[in-house]
Structure 1
């Protein structure tokens, strides 16, 4: 009986421990991980983790940033502030609505290269519109 009780207590303790892998990953962070899998390995402790082991903060914790703050001091989460509209846009567009404008420059330098030479090293030739023109 004592062994059964110990086993039950041990099992309850093990199940109560939250594994590190159970961390809630923001949906937009998941998108970066999925589409940049050659450069981004995961998400941990509010940071995007790159395949070289370096990390970049996802959310700086500052809420309700002004538009100027979003442009001047964005975090990775802020890059998703304005969503691309798949439907017909409302005219006129909201003031300062500009999906893709809010960017964290160090993030893109990390992904694509910190100099023109580094960017060139990462370029790959591809066929563009193969059924229309098939040009490279």
Structure 2
């Protein structure tokens, strides 16, 4: 409210405090929505990484199982060794993508701390405001 339009009477101060509280509540709701959307996006990325790890683990199983018959066929140093190496590469990739997904998931769980801190600040502000208005009366 501009200084020239300011109403210093008690009803004016109460009206201004109510308007400020309404604006503050709306801002907190918008902040909570934005934080929830960001958290959901982080979880979606984590789930995508876990799905990628599962697909790579499936490839690992396919290549590892394909190495056994080739090895039993008597081709000791030809094809089976390369199949086994390919299976190990996919196993390493699956582990890496799984760890990335786990890290992303753990980072996403910590959401909400900013909102709690913001609400605590608002409560402290309201307490100071009410004490100041009570002492002015």
Answer whether TM exceeds 0.5 for this pair.
no
Report which of the two structures shows the higher radius of gyration computed on alpha carbons.
Answer: 2
Q: TM-score range by the shorter chain?
A: under 0.3
Which has a greater percent of helix? 2
TM-score (norm 2): 0.24
Larger RCO, structure (CA 8 Å, separation 6 or more)? 2
TM-score (norm 1): 0.24
Which has a greater percent of strand? 1
